[in-house]
Structure 1
Amino acid sequence: LPAVGGSEGVGRVVELGPDTQGPAVGQTVLLPPGGGTWATHVVAAAARLVPLPNAADPKQLAMLTVNPPTASLLLSDFASLQPGDWVIQNGANSGVGSYVVQLAKLRGFKTVNIVRRESAVAGVEGLGADVVLVDGDDLAERVKAATGGAAIKLGIDAVGGKATMRLAACLGEGASMVNYGALSGEPCVVSPRELVFRDVCLKGFWLARWFRTTAQQKQLALLTELAGLIAAGKLSAPIQATYDVAQIKEAVAAAAAGERQGKILITPSHA
């Protein structure tokens, strides 16, 4: 401390330092992760700025750094999926979950989407989800009925606790499951039946580690691909409200409120 909050966002280049090579003045850029984006102005290393389409919606681009690459990598790095294959996820109405639905549809995958309350079903269906179900003890039976008994190759777990075990029970033999969160506040629980007798594999994913260990060229390629989808209107997230930096206390309170229907964004009034 002192420190500036905010781990993702976009800006427009207003000035380059002496003898600096980088995006031109006026170019929309993705700000470096964790650089303190709750601000009207940011000083950043030019080499770490990612040029983005100037014509794209900056509010949608501002959400590019965390959830879209998380969703993309969850779908690509843990199972060899082909068009027509099934994927199941819980926390489907979360930020990552909404991008999983959209990216899966673009790649030709079918999705089973689990939510924790009935009021969340319609929103996930509106994203193009194939199946949306409310979690419960009989989940595996309902998933089997909804998919015609399809062998689901990938499970994506954001909840942890016993929800992990319910998700594992829905998977086909030899399938993979990846956990990237603990919305329940509890560690993952998986039955030996799934791990030992059905050969289900459970792994974890943390985007921050991926950024640390992945070559910058590969990072840039993924972010550029996702930015292109956003610019084309093929990838988006709902926004509930926007606040100026001067309203940061109200913005944080709104972000912490339960049952939001979209993201809370900080948008400097002069931008």
Structure 2
Amino acid sequence: MKVRTPHMQGLQFQSFGEAKDVLQLVELQEPPAPAKSEVQIEMAYAPINPNDFLRIHSYLPNPPALPAIAGNEGLGHVVAVGDDVDTVKPGDRVILPLYSGTWRNRLNVPAQGLFALPAEADPQQLAMLRINPSTAALLLSEFVTLKPGDWVVQNAANSGVGRAVIAIAKHRGFKTVNLVRRPELIGDLLEAGGDIVEVDAPDGSMISDLHSGIEPKLAIDGVSASGTARLARWLAPGATLVGYAMMGGGRTPAADLDAIASSGINLQSFYLGRKENAQKMQDVLQTSAQLIAKGKLVQPIAATYPLKDYLQALAHARNGGKVQLDLRAR
């Protein structure tokens, strides 16, 4: 017998634009019983990520048909399964497929790729599993063949992806150089497992000369603009630099790429939603879930807001810090 949700609500947008302007809290019909190969999920938590804002603005590939429910990832538990579903059962906690529209109380999704998450893991940490840890894991495996003891350098090291890079690299035996904007972050990231943590000075001054014996084969760029050129100074000739975000505000690398060109550095880009990444996600998610369960992958959460307070949540997320929506139906 299906348990009815007291109030079915979701954050919907009928046009693309700034999230605070186009999102509306709307009443939704309860989803029907799941069809064959579907499951019904009751949502628990969902983070507000930069790529949520990008999707609502239609900056990402394959924008959704409108009207659409926002939310690119999140955690819920299975309340009903359709015919032929034997990979999960009612009561199992699961991570939603990418771009499911998770900012609502309940929804139906395909069962393919779903698996039961560790019962002992923190639910709010699991809610952030789909995007940041998956991005970090694939950045560390898909562009350069690394072996234990190899070095990786990254900027935006205090971001969700950056912290996941530290945890997953440590799990695989790699060493990390981590660049941050503020000196007060250094101790926290060293405690989180970073091998070297330095300030990424915007004036171009670098600490790399103090570590001249370290020549990473891979650089992970979440800043872009002038941050790309600064990051490249750490790399060995012929190394690879992969961009995955533009937190510095610029949408292209710095214009002066002489150092990159003369060193033969290979520039690449990464987007999690590419079709070729889908078949790799199961192993990536299961490994990251185990790291969360063991307390080895932890992302600080600045605040959690109920769905009705979504405007405050959006403003908080825009100002920095990881923010989550509490989607449990009241």
Q: In the alignment, which residue of structure 1 is the partner of 2:325?
A: 266
Q: In the alignment, which residue of structure 1 is the partner of 2:96?
A: 31
Give the secondary structure class of the aligned counterpart of 1:14. Answer: strand
Q: 1:71 to 1:28 in 2, by over 3 A?
A: same
State the shift of 1:70 in Å: 0.5
Give the secondary structure class of the aligned counterpart of 1:149. Answer: coil
Q: In the alignment, which residue of structure 2 is the partner of 1:250?
A: 312
Q: In the alignment, which residue of structure 2 is the partner of 1:131?
A: 196
1:223 partnered with 2:269: no
Task: Supply the AA of the counterpart residue of 1:86.
Answer: W
Give the secondary structure class of the aligned counterpart of 2:109. Answer: coil
Tell which deviates more after alignment, 232-241 or 190-199. Answer: 190-199
Provide the rounded CA distance (Å) in 2 between the counterparts of 1:239 and 1:93.
12
Q: In the alignment, which residue of structure 1 is the partner of 2:247?
A: 183
Contact 2:134 2:281 in 1 (8 A): no
Contact 1:57 1:231 in 2 (8 A): yes
Q: In the alignment, which residue of structure 2 is the partner of 1:157?
A: 221
Higher strand share: 2
Task: Supply the AA of the counterpart residue of 2:122.
Answer: D
Provide the rounded CA distance (Å) in 2 between the counterparts of 1:48 and 1:129.
32
Return the TM-score normalized by structure 1: 0.89
1:232 partnered with 2:291: no
Q: In the alignment, which residue of structure 1 is the partner of 2:168?
A: 103
State the shift of 1:270 in Å: 4.9
Q: In the alignment, which residue of structure 2 is the partner of 1:213?
A: 276
Give the secondary structure class of the aligned counterpart of 2:152. Answer: strand
Contact 1:144 1:150 in 2 (8 A): no
Contact 1:164 1:190 in 2 (8 A): no
Task: Supply the AA of the counterpart residue of 2:288.
Answer: L
State the shift of 1:238 in Å: 0.9
Contact 2:179 2:197 in 1 (8 A): yes
Provide the rounded CA distance (Å) in 1 between the counterparts of 2:318 and 2:180.
19
Q: In the alignment, which residue of structure 1 is the partner of 2:12?
A: none
Task: Supply the AA of the counterpart residue of 2:326.
Answer: T
Unaligned 5+ segments in structure 1 are none
Tell which deviates more after alignment, 103-112 or 46-55. Answer: 46-55
Task: Supply the AA of the counterpart residue of 2:307.
Answer: V
Show CA shifts across 1:215-256 (max 9, x none): 53x321221121122122221211111112222222111111
Higher helix share: 1
Task: Supply the AA of the counterpart residue of 1:65.
Answer: R
Matched positions, count: 262
Contact 1:31 1:48 in 2 (8 A): no
Tell which deviates more after alignment, 163-172 or 218-227. Answer: 218-227
State the shift of 1:269 in Å: 4.2
Show CA shifts across 1:54-89 (max 9, x none): 332111111011000111111111222222221111
Provide the rounded CA distance (Å) in 2 between the counterparts of 1:195 and 1:253.
37
Provide the rounded CA distance (Å) in 2 between the counterparts of 1:203 and 1:247.
39
Provide the rounded CA distance (Å) in 1 between the counterparts of 2:247 and 2:257.
23
Q: In the alignment, which residue of structure 2 is the partner of 1:76?
A: 141
Provide the rounded CA distance (Å) in 2 between the counterparts of 1:79 and 1:206.
16
Show CA shifts across 1:87-111 (max 9, x none): 1111111110011111111222211
Identity of aligned residues (%): 43
Q: In the alignment, which residue of structure 1 is the partner of 2:238?
A: 174
Show CA shifts across 1:10-34 (max 9, x none): 11111224x3524211111111111
Contact 1:139 1:170 in 2 (8 A): no
User: Which stretches of structure 1, 4 residues or more, deviate above 3 A after TM superposition?
Assistant: 137-140, 190-196
Return the TM-score normalized by structure 2: 0.74
Higher RCO structure (Cα 8 Å, ≥6 apart): 2
Task: Supply the AA of the counterpart residue of 2:240.
Answer: S
Tell which deviates more after alignment, 118-127 or 78-87. Answer: 118-127
Contact 2:180 2:200 in 1 (8 A): yes
* Aligned CA-pair RMSD: 2.0
Provide the rounded CA distance (Å) in 1 between the counterparts of 2:138 and 2:255.
23
Q: 1:215 to 1:69 in 2, by over 3 A?
A: closer
State the shift of 1:134 in Å: 1.1
Task: Supply the AA of the counterpart residue of 1:265.
Answer: Q
Question: Which of 155, 166, 178 is equivalent to 1:113?
Answer: 178
Question: Which of 54, 68, 74 is equivalent to 1:9?
Answer: 74
Tell which deviates more after alignment, 6-15 or 218-227. Answer: 218-227
Unaligned 5+ segments in structure 2 are 1-65
Q: 1:115 to 1:152 in 2, by over 3 A?
A: same
Q: 1:215 to 1:205 in 2, by over 3 A?
A: closer
